Structure formats: C-alpha cells, structure tokens
Structure 1
C-alpha cells in the first residue's frame, strides 16, 4: 500500500510539472516599432505596453530572432545578441516564456535564402562548424548570465533547403547534419534542459516534412522538437483547404519520429479578421489534439507588426494601433 501511494504521488507530481500549452508571438520588430514612435493601444483606446496587450489576450510566450552582425535597418536589421538579451529579459520579467530563433545570417533566412553572415563567408567548413557552435553558445550563455532561461531554441529558421548555403544545403546532408548538431551541442552545453527545435515551413506539406526529417534521421541529427510554419496565405489557399493536412502532418511527425511538435509561426490576413481568428482557433485545436500531449504550442509571427509600420499584410493589428479581435483565439 505504501508503495502504491508513493507511485500515485510521483505520478501526480509529474502531471503537475507539465508545462502549460505555449501560446505566443514572435515580436522581433517590437523594439524598433517603439524606437520609431509607434504607439500601442488597448480596445478602450488607452495606451498600453505591447507585451501586456498580448498577455491580456492569453499569450504566455515570446519568440525572438537572432542575427549575427545585423544592420541598423528598422525592419531588416537589429536583433543582435545584445538587443535579444534586453528583449528576452523584458519578456521574462512579465512572466513570459522565451524562444530564441537562430537564423545564422546577418538578416532574414528562410526557404528562399540562407546566406552566410558576411564574417563567415570565406571560412572553411570546419571553421563554419566552430562559427555555429560559438555563436550559438555565446548568445545562449549571454542570456543565462543576464538571468534569462530560454525554454526553446531553434537551430535555423525555415530550413527545408538547409542553411548556411552552399555548405549546409540539403544537397549535402552530411554537412548539414553536422552543422545542426553543432548548434544542438552548443545549446545543451549552456543548459541541457533547453529544448532544441528544427524548423521547416509549409506545415501542411507532409511529403516535405518526411523528406527532410528522414534525411535528418539518417544523419543522426539531434533535436527535441519539430517546428512548423503554417501560412495558408503564401500557398494561395484558405485554411479550410489545408487544416486537415496540418493535423495529419502534426500527428505523423510524432508517430514517425517520436518527437514533440509546435507551430512556431502562423499568420493570417489583417483585413480578414474573422477568417484569421478561425485559422488560429483551428490551428491551436490541431496542436492541442496531438496525442500524448506532444503538441506543445502555437506562435503568431509578428502580430503587433502593424501594416502601417511594417508593410506586412499578415499582422494581427488594426489601423488604430489596437490588437485585432482575431487574437482573441489565444484566450480560449
């Protein structure tokens, strides 16, 4: 009986330690929006801190991108190590969990472009391995010294074709596998409890994901979570045409590779409020319903990045500086 009670206690303890579902936002533009004078307002018209507005709408997590030697361009620069530490500390002080997204570039890295940082361009492959390790370690260690404990770290941003081209292209999986493992090792050297994410776009495309992660498995790539982007807009389809494919892919990734999954980027059109809210509701539901609590969370990409400031059509912010009602999907 005593043994049974002990087992029940341990089981209950384990359950209580499960982290809540992550509902978050990538807010890399926020410091520059504030620096250039953009003001954020609540639905009552009163000015309020942007992170508080997101928190009031149910968000509990923040995602921050990191570039190596970025310019000071307001929209395609900043996001340096130092700026990331400041922003992560601000988010953590508000009780929000932190995800760090390494692009391994001086500016945007995505499926169409994975340019090496200028300082690394002429390095040998072995030097590039060291670059990835020491840059990753340096940023995560700086966060640790500042008192920030990121919960998740992405090694690369939307890398279906690899990263740090041409060395780390998927045309050369042996090298890509080594680069990804260097990033993983650097993160774990700072804090073994941080979960490492590998991130591919077009989360409704199961074939793309199987191709990528089958190759990653062959190369013994080390990671904890499969990260997905989900943007029906970019493939010119409505979410109603693709959500079933997203559900299938989420479940298949867990079943096939035994990993946890997250939608680390999602977004809908800012002028289609109801449609975007439904997209978010269904995306959150799809991730929550992954068997075994293996679906960890959903992050909106730059919800606060109002079109008037960013010229980006997939924010979730109104022209009057207030959050779109679409974000109420995160309250549920």
Structure 2
C-alpha cells in the first residue's frame, strides 16, 4: 500500500503533464485552422422577438447549429458600452456579449470580440463616443478605452471564455472616438489603439488584436492607414478587412483580384496576419453571393505563409423580414441561404 501511495504523485504529475500537452496541441490545432464564421450580434434579439430558425426540412433548430452545419467554426460579437434596447440598433451590452460568447463556445465555436467603443454603431461614417465618455479629457479617454476593454475581457475570462481575437475599433479608416481619435490626429489615435491592445494583452497575451478597415479591395486606403499606424508605433497583430461589393456598387468579379492583391500586400508590407472580418452579399442573389464567398475564401487562403486567417460573414442570420437588411444570408422561410454552403468547402 505504501508503495502504491508513493508512486501516486508521480502518476498524477504525468497525467497532468499529458493533459496539458494534449490541451496545448488541441488549442494550437484550432488556432491553425482556417476561421470560417459569422457575426451574430442580432441573434439574441431575433430569438427574443420570436423569430424561428429552421433547417431544410422546416424543423426549428438552433441558429448556431445551423451555421455550424454549414462549416462555420467562429462567432464574432460586437460590444457596445451602454446601448439602448432598440431591437436592431441596441443591445450588445457587455453582459449580453458574455452570455452569447459562453453559448457559442459551448457549441465549439471560436470567439472574436469587436469593440466599437460607442453606445451604438461605429463605422466609417460615425465614430461617436459613449455618452458617459462624451465630456472626458483625452487622458480620461485613454483610461476609458483601457478599462472598458479590460473589464469586458475579464468578465469573459471569469465566465470561462478567452477570445481568440479582439478588435480594437470597428471600421476605423477615419479613426475612432471622434474628434479626439480622428486620423487628423494620429498621435492621439495611436495612443487610444494601444490602450486597447495593452488591456487585451493584460488579460491574455495570446489573444490576437485586430485593427479593422472597410473596403478591403482598396489598397491605397490600407497603405495610407497602416503606414501611419507604423509611423506612430501602433501595436496590433492582425489587419482586418471588410469586403462588401454591394456598398461600392460593383459586382465582386470587378474587384476580387484587388482584394486578393491587398491581402497579400498587407501581409508582406507590414509582416502581419490578415483576415476578412466582414463580408456579405445580396440575399436575393443567392448564386452570386455563394460564388463571391467561394472567391473570398480562396483569396484569403492564397496569402503566403498561412497568414490569411479566415473569413467572417456579417449577420448571415439577420433575415430581411426581421432586420430590413439586404445582405443577410437567410431565406424568407427561415432557412439558411444556400449561399452559405460556400463555407463547407
């Protein structure tokens, strides 16, 4: 009996080491897998208002499972500071984001968190400060960005979720938290971005930080922004892109080569990983949208040295009947659009 007890610590140590090694290998394998995913910020509100998601046989099914069935392995979640309760332009509070992240992770999904640093939509046309930050000095804004980022990620950690990626700002070609963080004042914008980066790394150094612009086919826009970011010592890991041919009034065939070239150029010029974190096509043009998605996935996979990380569809589940958004990938009968089959390949 004494001999068995004596070797028990050794057995436990070896078991722990093996488990840790296996866990590390599994995490590494996941991180090396191409990310195929969806931003689903509207999902809780859609469910709360009674929208029913269905499979091809007309049976009700969990939306996340429907997305997973189409090859998706990643969920992107936006987070606002103090949003209102409007079903389409509200919610996405830190608390709701944590709840959705836990739910998605239980489904085996990888997690990306998109910080808008606003109470509602932030995009190239508007980067409004949260109301509670509106009258803060620049030094206070720096602390606001750090603390908000840290607090949300700490809440996720407490809930057992470590995001694989964190976006510091959403579509920020003109900067964020205007006017203080405008690109007319790059030294200040750089400080704000770096506070988001520092807060993220303080939670977990392995989380990759994304800086994100729109118009992924526009190489001139990207070079100008990231040259300035480099000159101002902005810290980040991944260059994120949106790609919506619809919004620039073209068909994807007119500029998919530009997207591919820009992806490759960004990876080489700045020695960064790249990712299409938002993409979408018209819900009524199913075949065209599917072909576009296939082409975008191929373009990202062509980036040398495995620096093309993945592709994420923006609100595929956001059916037009509920959201009035034309670029979802959901059919009128509540079933996923066949366009999403592009993610199976």
Alignment of 1:38-49 (within 5 A): 38-49=51-62
SS in 2 for 1:104: coil
1:188 and 2:201 matched? yes
Question: Are 2:317 and 1:308 equivalent residues in the alignment?
Answer: no
**Alignment partner, residue 8 of structure 1:** none
The higher radius of gyration belongs to: 2
Within 5 A, what are the aligned runs for 1:190-229? 190-229=203-242
- 1:81 maps to 94
CA distance in 2, matches of 1:326, 1:194: 31
Partner of 2:187: 174
Q: Does 1:24 align with 2:24?
A: no
Separation in structure 2 between the aligned mates of residue 15 and residue 63 of structure 1, nearest angstrom: 20
Matches within 5 A, 1:316-327: 316-327=329-340
Q: CA deviation at 1:14?
A: 11
- Is 1:120 aligned to residue 133 of structure 2? yes
Q: Which residue of 2 aligns with 1:95?
A: 108
CA deviations on 1:252-277 (whole Å, 9 max, x unpaired) are: 00110000000000000000000000
Q: CA deviation at 1:44?
A: 1.2
- What residue number does 2:259 align with? 246
CA shift at 1:19, angstroms? 1.9
1:279-312, Cα deviation, whole Å (9 max, x unpaired): 0000000001100000000000000000000000
- Structure 2 partner of 1:235: 248
Residue equivalent to 1:51: 64
Task: Compute the TM-score of the two structures, normalised by the length of structure 2.
Answer: 0.92
Which structure 1 segments of 5+ residues have no match? 1-11
DSSP 3-state at the match of 1:327: helix
**Cα distance in 2 for residues equivalent to 1:321 and 1:66:** 26
Cα distance in structure 2, aligned partners of 1:293 and 1:280: 19
Q: 1:16 offset after TM fit, Å?
A: 5.3
Q: What is the CA distance between 1:214 and its match in structure 2?
A: 0.2
CA 1:15–1:125 in 2, change beyond 3 Å: closer, same or farther? closer
Is 2:148 the partner of 1:135? yes
Residue 16 of structure 2 corresponds to which residue in structure 1?
none
How far apart are the structure 2 equivalents of 1:15 and 1:29? 30
Find the residue that maps to 2:183 and give its secondary structure.
coil
Helix, strand or coil at the partner of 2:184: coil
- Whether 2:289 is the aligned partner of 1:276: answer yes
Question: 1:263 aligns to what?
Answer: 276
> What is the alpha-carbon root mean square deviation over aligned residues?
1.3
How far apart in 1 are the matches of 2:239 and 2:194?
15
TM-score by length of 1: 0.95
Hey, what's the Cα distance between the residues in 1 that align with 2:299 and 2:96?
A: 34
The one of 302, 324, 332 equivalent to 1:289 is 302
Is 1:331 the equivalent of 2:344?
Answer: yes
Structure 2 residue matching 1:159: 3-state secondary structure: coil
